[in-house]
Amino acid sequence: MTLPPQADSSSADHPVTPAGAPGVGRVAKAIPEATVARLAVYLRVLGQLAEGGAETVSSEELAAVSGVNSAKLRKDLSHIGTHGIRGVGYDVAVLQQELERVLGQDHPQAVALVGVGNLGHALAGYGGFGGRGFPVTALFDVDPDLVGILINGIEVRHARDIPQACREAGVTIGMIATPAQAAQAVCDQLVESGVHAILNFAPAVLQVPEDVEVRKVDLAVELQVLAFHVAGRGGITDHVATPPQVVNGRNGSAVPAS
């Protein structure tokens, strides 16, 4: 049976059903994926405001810090049934809790990382995941020089242990940072262990069952997109408009290079 390929994570119109949460979490209609991404940004900003002691925030203030306009912010929050109080704005703590429930962050999501090479090692050592409710609890690789080492206090296990170890640790999200040729086999092992959400850093398109969500992060593609925008703004043309010059060996004058 041919399994459907992973969804394109860049799609802005893909609907996402909110996590089941009291009140706001029971909103029946799906939320556009682009809105979900912005809700995550709002949640991060609210966390920063809470740490700074803020109790309320206006839609204009929250929108400005989040990099959107206030009308879009209010529309985004209307998807989860949240509306600010006129003249007051939003209660920071309450809105933070609502967004955590909708985004499924009202309880920790255990993460397993497969592939602890250069990129994987950096991901494993990044402390920001745990602080946002995504602690990396299991690490895997096949390199005998890596298996057995400790990264942030977590022992790297052999990839053959993925199914058993992930079930034991209650892993809900898998991250793949392996070479392309190994990514599908690793994905299959994560799915076998019961993981239904995968963040894929490998340059490969994964085949997964319909109930498995895959987000692809291709850094090379992101750089290519940036290069396209640079070219569109004349950045490349400006650099090549004047031919490179070399020094004439006889009289020292600059002449265009052939």
Secondary structure (DSSP) of 135-160: -EEEEEE--TTTTT-EETTEEEEEGG
For residue 103, the Cα-to-chain-centroid distance in whole angstroms is: 13
pLDDT digits (tens, 9 = 90+) for 149-192: 999 999 999 999 999 999 999 999 999 999 999 999 999 999 99
CATH of domain 111-220: 3.40.50.720
Q: According to the model, what pLDDT value does residue 177 have?
A: 97
Whether the full predicted model's pTM is greater than 0.95, yes or no, is no
Query: E strands within the chain?
Result: 15-16, 31-32, 56-57, 90-91, 111-114, 136-141, 150-151, 154-158, 173-176, 197-200, 213-216, 245-247, 254-256
Q: Which residue pairs, CB below 8 angstroms and at least 24 apart, start in 50-58? A: 50/92, 50/93, 50/96, 54/92, 55/91, 55/92, 55/93, 56/88, 56/89, 56/90, 56/91, 56/92, 57/89, 57/90, 57/92, 57/95, 58/84, 58/88, 58/89, 58/90
**Phi, psi torsion values for 5, nearest 5 degrees:** -70, 165
- What pLDDT does 130 receive? 82
- The SS3 of residue 85 is strand
Strand partners, 31: 16
Boundaries of every domain in the chain: 15-102, 111-220
- The structure tokens listed for 158 are 């052999």
Share above pLDDT 90 across residues of the chain, in percent, rounded to a whole number: 57
Q: Was domain 15-102 assigned CATH 3.40.50.2300?
A: no
Check residue 12 and give its pLDDT. 40
pLDDT for res 58: 92
Cα–Cα dist 89/151, whole Å: 43
To the nearest whole number, what is the mean pLDDT of the chain? 82
